Amino acid sequence: MEKQKVAVVTGGMGGLGEAICRNFHEHGYRVIATYSPGNQHAATWLKTQQDAGFDCKSVMIDVADFKSCEAGVAKILSEVGRIDVLVNNAGITRDTTLRRMSLEAWQEVTHTNLDSVFNMSRQVIEGMLECGWGRIINISSVNGQKGAFGQANYAAAKAGVHGFTKALALEVARKGITVNTVSPGYLRTKMVMAVPAEVMEKKILPEIPLGRLGEPAEVAALVSFLASEEAAFITGANMSINGGQHMC
């Protein structure tokens, strides 16, 4: 009997990360969500999920810090023994034009959105190689593909994510491991829904040919597919899911 697969989702509490965790749970995975050291709501979130019948474990990891990732992954391995799927989802924004962007704003975003992908992938790759099977799915963004005003830091980091994906995919392709990127557009998350209605109606929605925001569950379904056996021939790919906002 095949062992239950284990999926680790960084930034798994809330928004897209939560949707990805839930989808994996529904597909029979053992799910571990990571959260940042500053998250004061982790215990409440876990209790809410458990009350709703969603059994999810958690571990605190600062994904921007290599040592924290090392310790966090070691903790996961000591408790569950394996990591079959890694979803590098954690990310932040610090939007402003380059003329006003501080070094701190640049580094915060690149450390959290790009360095984290190395920091976490480096911890799990040996185990996947030993098993001869693994899935790494990196969450980028439509703005990493097309750029965005006031997001030089974010766009650069998210574009770098796919460069990382392609290189690692080549390194491990013959070892039963696939590495792919998912680049969502604007989704119906709390962060996006906090945008002023006028901006949403006049600037964001007109750019989306389908005329609506994406649902986190739609992206989560794509991530789940890429983690499946059915997607074993897909690697080094960037899967756009943006309602037609950017076609490539």
The residue from 29, 35, 154, 186 that is catalytic is 154
Residue 97 CB partners (closer than 8 Å, separation 6+): 149, 150, 152
Contact 72, 34 (CB under 8 A): yes
Residue 30 forms beta bridges with which residues?
6
At 207, the amino acid letter reads E
- Here the tokens at position 26 are 């529904």
* Burial profile 107-128: b = 16 or more Cβ within 10 angstroms, e = fewer: ebbbbbbbbbbbbbbebbbeeb
- Smallest Cα–Cα separation from 54: which of 24, 83, 78? 24
Cα-to-chain-centroid distance, residue 64: 14
Question: Which residues, in sequence order, are bridge partners of residue 56?
Answer: 31
- The yes-or-no answer on residue 154 being catalytic is yes
- Please give the Cα distance from 194 to 197 (Å, whole number): 8
32: tokens are: 């571990």
**Of 89, 77, 180, 182, nearest in space to 130 by CA:** 77
* Catalytic (active-site) positions: 154
